[in-house]
Every structure is written in structure tokens, then in C-alpha cells.
Amino acid sequence: MIKKVLIANRGEIALRIHRACHEMDIKTVAVHSTADAEAKHVKLADEAVCIGPPPATDSYLNIPNIISAAEISGADAIHPGYGFLSENEKFATIVEEHEVIWIGPKPEHIRVMGDKVEAKKTAGKLGLPLVPGSDGAVREIGEAKKIGDEIGYPLIVKAASGGGGRGMKVVPEAGKLESLMKQAGSEAKSAFGDDTVYLEKFLGNPRHIEFQIFGDGKGNAIHLGERDCSLQRRHQKVLEEAPGPTITDEERTRMGDICARAMADMGYRGAGTIEFLYEDGGFYFIEMNTRLQVEHPVTEMITGLDLVREQILVAAGQPLSVTQDEVTFTGHAIECRINAEHPETFAPSPGKVVNYHAAGGMHVRVDSGLYSGYSIPPYYDSMVAKLIVYGTSRNKCIRRLRRALEEMVIDGVDTTLPLHRALLEDPDVLEGNYTIKWLEEWLERNAAASDTQ
Ligand code: ADP
């Protein structure tokens, strides 16, 4: 069994991994940049190693320094968390070459799912339903026009190496296809060094539904149901819930089984998330994330499983702690991502937290690296806390979440707490009546309303 895990990350996810490790009697090694010397994950870990200056490229993305930290500390495994090096095939390969256990999927699977064209092809072969579109990359306008005529407009041009919503263009009609395809290609070239693009039918008003899956790397895989992450701003998730308010038990079982079977066929190892757009009862694969997700706690709340523990078990070559038949879904959970940002302009707001008070009480979980007196550094992601609340029903969950949001205090910096409080008063959110477009439109309406006041 694994004895010492190096956590190649920071913030709340580093703490989350540390907690799972200590509950399994595993020692932890924190790594940190000079900007994070006072961070909570550094204080709680059994050992800490400084891996470089503040910019992530010099520290949290610095592969030689992280490998050296593992060697110096005698860590026998590395958990990458999410973001940073978590979906870096090269890093996973180097870790394994150093005979350190990689708590993540096989490097080959990280590679396949990291290239969107290849991911879509693989997903199709494995029987996952796809958004209608080109069969792989499209290089010539003549070919693109033919596909456009077949699938119809509007359509969307997407970059094969895309991420974070970049390199995407919605094409309203055939006349704009050539110019928008060129634009998407050159945007993709400058952002990712690769101008390969492909075409998809543009879905007008879908929801974002994703399935949590787990494989043991030996041909067995299970699903842990879905999450609805439709409340997004600029393709960034803001609030997530499980189960999806519109998903039926039949849909969960049918799609979950398709996902689990696909992962079993692949021989997938560890945690993964298969993302779909969902419209008019149809599911359409968009991508797969080969890592733990920010929003994994809502799944933990309704299944009672510790997903980091499961990751560690399969990385150590042990079986998952449950079979599909033993997985149960009980009640409802919602997560609010709390960012150190202005709640209306979304301008980042790093700086000193003069007073911090986390919400508490029954079924309330706060994952955060904050404490009173902590200074949020300006170099990294602005998400500083996750508030996750459980209730036996969606209504009870919402009531408890409102109460918990009242209790949370983060003084000294701007946060998105007021945004979440307002969202939890909106009739559409209360009814689960929203799509991936809803939040942007709601923000625009509110901005227009405050301008006229
Ligand atoms: P990225 O990796 O850049 O985040 P995704 O493929 O996951 O790209 O898509 C990001 C978002 O873009 C989706 O959540 C959805 O809002 C939108 N999107 C992507 N493909 C389509 C499509 N075919 N139709 C409508 N919207 C889409």
C-alpha cells in the first residue's frame, strides 16, 4: 500500500487530498511556491518542499522540481489534484518512469482524451452518443461546406487542442463559414500551437450534464451518476448539483451504464468525468476529463463515497470499494464555487482576509484553504472556497444552502458570495429551470437593471 503521497497542487484541493490520505494512514508531502509558504496545505502536511517562485510555470508546473521533491521526501506516489499537471501525459509518464505511483489514469488515456478530435473518435467507437459533426479534423473549405450542408446551421467550429472555451466560433450561416473557420484556426494556433479544427452542430439551449466514472484499470468500471453544471459564466462553472434536476432514474441508469461500459472496454484507471450537452432528451458527448473535478463533492454527498480514497485504492492496484450494485444515490447536494472576485464585474480581488468564518451545521461542508489573516496571492485561480450542502430533497438542500450562505464570512476581499445568495433567491434556480445560457443572460439583465437605477 502507498505510504507517502506528494500532493502536486495547492489550495482547497491539496487539503482535500491531505485529508483523505490521513484517514488512510498515509503521510503527505506538500509542495509550494514561495508565495504559498503560509498556505494551509503547507501547514497541515507532514512535510513541505518549496518548488520555486510564485509563477505557476516556475513552481506548480515545474516538472523537474516536483520530481526532485518526491525523491528527496521519499514519496511513493503523486496526486496531481485538478488543473496544473493533472492532465499532462508527459508528467504522468515521467512520474511512472521514476517508479513513483501516479494517482491518475494511464498516460495513454490522458493523451487520447486530451485531443478533442481523437477523444470524439474514441468516444464514438466506445458507443457514446456524439454531437453530429465532421468525422475528425476538417482542413479544406470545400469539405467544410459539404459537412455544413449535411448537418445544417448554425454550427460550431472547435479547436482540436482547445480548452477553456477558446478557439470556438459559432457559424450562423454557410456564407460565414470560411471566414469563421479561418479565425478559429488562427486563434487556436496562437493559443495552443495547433490550428486543427473540426465542426459540430451548434445546440441552441442545452444543459451541461456530466457523469462521474471510475475504473480499476483491469477492465472493471462503475458510474456514480450525474451532475448538472449548467450554471456557467464564460464556460466556467459557478454552481453544480447532483442529481441533475431534470434527469430521470431511467436516463441516469441508461447513460451511466453506457459510460461505465465504455470505460471498462478502455481499461480506464481512476476517476474520470464524461461531459455531455443535453437537449430535448438527447445526450451529446463533448469531452472527457481524465482527473478529479472541482465539483466532485456533490457526488460524494449523495453516494457517501470518498472519491480521493477510491483514486488512491485503484492507483495502489486494489479494487474499488464498491460494485455498481452497491452504489446508491440518496438526497440532493449543491456546491457553490466562491471566488475572490467582485460579484458583478468579476475583477479578481486578491489580498488579506481579515476575518474568515466558515458555515457549519448538519450536512454542510466547506472545502477551503482560507483562514483569518491569510493573504490570497494574486498568481493563481481565484476560487478560494467551495460550500457544499446536502439535503434529503432538493428543496431541503436549497433551504440549508441559503442558511449556510448567510453564515459565511470572508472579510477583506471581494467575493462571489453575494452572487450565490442572489442566485438562491431566483425562481428559475429554485425550480432547476436553467440551461448553459441562463446565467450569462441573468447577469446581463441584472447589469442593465442596475444601470437604469
Ligand atoms: P472547452 O474544452 O474549451 O471547455 P468544450 O468542448 O468542453 O470546450 O465546450 C465548452 C462549452 O462550449 C460547452 O460547455 C458549451 O457551453 C459550449 N459548446 C461546446 N460545443 C457546443 C455545441 N456543439 N453546441 C453548443 N454549445 C457548445
Could you write out the DSSP letters of every residue in 199-221?
A: EEEPPSS-EEEEEEEEEESSS-E
- Our answer on whether the CB atom of 235 is closer than 6 Å to any ligand 1 atom is yes
Q: Which amino acid appears at position 104 of this protein? A: G
Determine the Cα–Cα distance for residues 396 and 405; give it in Å rounded to an integer. 14
- Tell how far the Cα of 32 is from the centroid of ligand 1, in angstroms: 33
Mean pLDDT of all residues in 324-353: 97
Task: For helices 107-114 and 116-125, give the axis angle rounded to 10 degrees.
Answer: 110
Domain ranges of the chain: 4-103, 132-201, 207-452
- Our answer on whether the CB atom of 210 is closer than 6 Å to any ligand 1 atom is no
Determine the Cα–Cα distance for residues 449 and 423; give it in Å rounded to an integer. 16
The predicted structure's pLDDT at residue 324: 98
298 contacts 240 by C-beta, under 8 angstroms: yes
**Dihedrals φ, ψ of 186, to 5°?**
-75, -30
369 contacts 39 by C-beta, under 8 angstroms: yes
Mean pLDDT of all residues in 240-263: 98
Express each pLDDT in 20-47 by its tens digit.
999 999 999 999 999 999 999 999 999 9
What number of other Cβ atoms are within 10 A of residue 381's Cβ? Answer: 16
- Our answer on whether the CB atom of 284 is closer than 6 Å to any ligand 1 atom is no
pLDDT-based confidence at residue 167 (cuts at 50, 70, 90): confident
The predicted structure's pLDDT at residue 385: 98
- Tell how far the Cα of 286 is from the centroid of ligand 1, in angstroms: 7
Express each pLDDT in 97-125 by its tens digit.
999 999 999 999 999 999 999 999 999 99
- Our answer on whether the CB atom of 208 is closer than 6 Å to any ligand 1 atom is yes
Exposure string over 354-376, b if 16+ CB within 10 A, otherwise e: eebebbeeebbbbbbbbeeebeb
**Alpha-carbon separation of residue 388 from 160, 365, 402 (angstroms):** 34, 5, 11
| Nearest one of 285, 254, 289 to 131, comparing CA atoms | 285
pLDDT at 291 over 90: yes
Cell numbers at residue 169, please? Answer: 466560433
- Tell how far the Cα of 437 is from the centroid of ligand 1, in angstroms: 11
pLDDT at 90 over 90: yes
Which residue among 130, 235, 288, 434 has the greatest number of ligand 1 atoms within 8 angstroms of its CB, and so is best to mutate?
235
- Our answer on whether the CB atom of 234 is closer than 6 Å to any ligand 1 atom is no
- Tell how far the Cα of 245 is from the centroid of ligand 1, in angstroms: 21
Express each pLDDT in 416-449 by its tens digit.
999 999 999 999 999 999 999 999 999 999 988 8
Question: Catalytic positions, please?
Answer: 291
Ligand 1 atom at minimum distance from 159 CA: 3
The predicted structure's pLDDT at residue 164: 72
The DSSP letter of residue 319 is P
CATH class of 4-103: alpha beta
pLDDT at 165 over 80: no
pLDDT at 221 over 80: yes
pLDDT-based confidence at residue 453 (cuts at 50, 70, 90): low
- Our answer on whether the CB atom of 287 is closer than 6 Å to any ligand 1 atom is yes
The predicted structure's pLDDT at residue 440: 96
Answer CATH for 207-452 from 3.40.1410.10, 1.10.1060.10, 3.40.50.300, 3.30.470.20: 3.30.470.20
Architecture of domain 132-201: 2-Layer Sandwich (3.30)
pLDDT-based confidence at residue 452 (cuts at 50, 70, 90): confident
The residue among 227 and 1 whose pLDDT is bigger is 227
Determine the Cα–Cα distance for residues 95 and 16; give it in Å rounded to an integer. 21
The predicted structure's pLDDT at residue 166: 79
The predicted structure's pLDDT at residue 162: 82
225 contacts 252 by C-beta, under 8 angstroms: yes
